[in-house]
Amino acid sequence: MTLFSSDNSVQAACTNVHRPMGGIEGLREVHDDVGRLSVSAFPVAMIKDMSMSRAAVPACYILADHATAYIGETGNVGRRLSDHYRDQSKAFAKEAYVVSGYQGGWLDTTAALYLQYRFTRIAEQANLVDIMKGVNPQVLELPSHRRAALDIFVEHGERLLFDAGCRVLRSNFAGQRRAVAKAETVEPEDTGPMQIGVVATPPVGSELELAYGDLWARGFPAAEGFVVMAGSEVRKAVNPSAPPIVASRRDELTEAEALVPIPGVQDRERLCVAVCFPSAAIAAKVVTGAHVDSNKWQAPRYPRPILIAG
């Protein structure tokens, strides 16, 4: 029985939700009888119990909570999710959504890459959560017939993800949508002067690392604000939700020749001098190109050196 009259102008759809382990909040396998995709939804805590042999398949995946999402792709989703599970920068995630082929071989690595790119763009336009990025999704050069087929995957995947409970791409809750005015506001102290080329010697025990994807950056609190150290990486892309001051600060760094290319890397640059920002919050925003807070600066977990110049 349906509560509404039928509309013959649209194509009806039916989704199956299978709970192989029973219960309500655990594993849900979502698919239909005509598509080639399946979405597996489960708490992130279940990653440690995945079967590595069964999960050695290409997939696009989303790690999310109500405020942040990370959209990735891989040729082996079991191994990749296991890596993320041990990564403190992904500790925000409470739920995982894996888009894979309903049968083996029905989704390959090209399709996974395409889904990652399209889902990322859709999520950014929806502006329901902050999108955490590591490497920017790839724009694939594909023949028109291949792209047309993958666009069907995108449409199908969106529906399955929504039915699985994912609210990163779409939501009926108006309260979840972020007001542009709120996303663009900055604290008064963030608009203060930025000092480029300062002498940076962090006091013992004060050095912090940035927890944002695999972006490498170090800094420390200073009397004048927050110093981001030379050698730190700066993500090139700027999210739509980032306040306008992020772009103007980036322009200042570029004009001062404070940013240099990283050989072999396209999505980020490196600070060649230390920079003192008015606050830790604006430092995090400029480095990540995202609307993030000062809590992204955290105590280092595994100190490791980097090679700035060879």
19-70: pLDDT as tens digits: 999 999 999 999 998 899 999 999 999 999 999 999 999 999 999 998 889 9
Q: What is the pLDDT of residues 95-131, one digit of tens each?
A: 999 999 999 889 999 999 999 999 999 998 888 888 8
Contact (CB, 8 A) for 196 and 256: yes
What pLDDT was estimated at residue 63? 97
What pLDDT was estimated at residue 278? 93
Residue 180 has pLDDT above 50, yes or no: no
In Å, what is the CA distance from 40 to each residue of 30, 60, 83, 191, 264? 6, 11, 18, 44, 35
CA atoms within 13 A on the CB side of 245: 21
Token reading at 24: 């309500």
Query: Mean pLDDT in the chain?
Result: 88
Q: What is the pTM (predicted TM-score) of this model? A: 0.66
CA distance 274 to 15: 54
What pLDDT was estimated at residue 240? 77
What pLDDT was estimated at residue 307? 55
Grade residue 305 by pLDDT with cuts at 50, 70 and 90. Answer: low
Grade residue 264 by pLDDT with cuts at 50, 70 and 90. Answer: confident
What pLDDT was estimated at residue 184? 41
What pLDDT was estimated at residue 238? 87
Residue 185 has pLDDT above 70, yes or no: no
More confident residue, 232 or 307: 232
What pLDDT was estimated at residue 132? 87
With residue 184 as reference, give the H or E element that holds it. Answer: helix 180-184
Handedness of CA 76, 82, 85, 86 (dihedral sign): negative
With residue 298 as reference, give the H or E element that holds it. Answer: strand 297-298
Other CB atoms within a 10 A radius of the CB of residue 310 amount to 4
Grade residue 163 by pLDDT with cuts at 50, 70 and 90. Answer: very high
With residue 285 as reference, give the H or E element that holds it. Answer: helix 280-288
Cα dihedral 200, 206, 212, 216, rounded to 10, equals: 40
Contact (CB, 8 A) for 218 and 276: no
Grade residue 134 by pLDDT with cuts at 50, 70 and 90. Answer: confident
What pLDDT was estimated at residue 181? 39
What pLDDT was estimated at residue 178? 53
Token reading at 263: 């050989």
Grade residue 135 by pLDDT with cuts at 50, 70 and 90. Answer: confident
Q: Which residues pair with 234 in a beta bridge?
A: 269
282 alpha-carbon distance from chain centroid: 19
What pLDDT was estimated at residue 10? 76
Grade residue 248 by pLDDT with cuts at 50, 70 and 90. Answer: very high
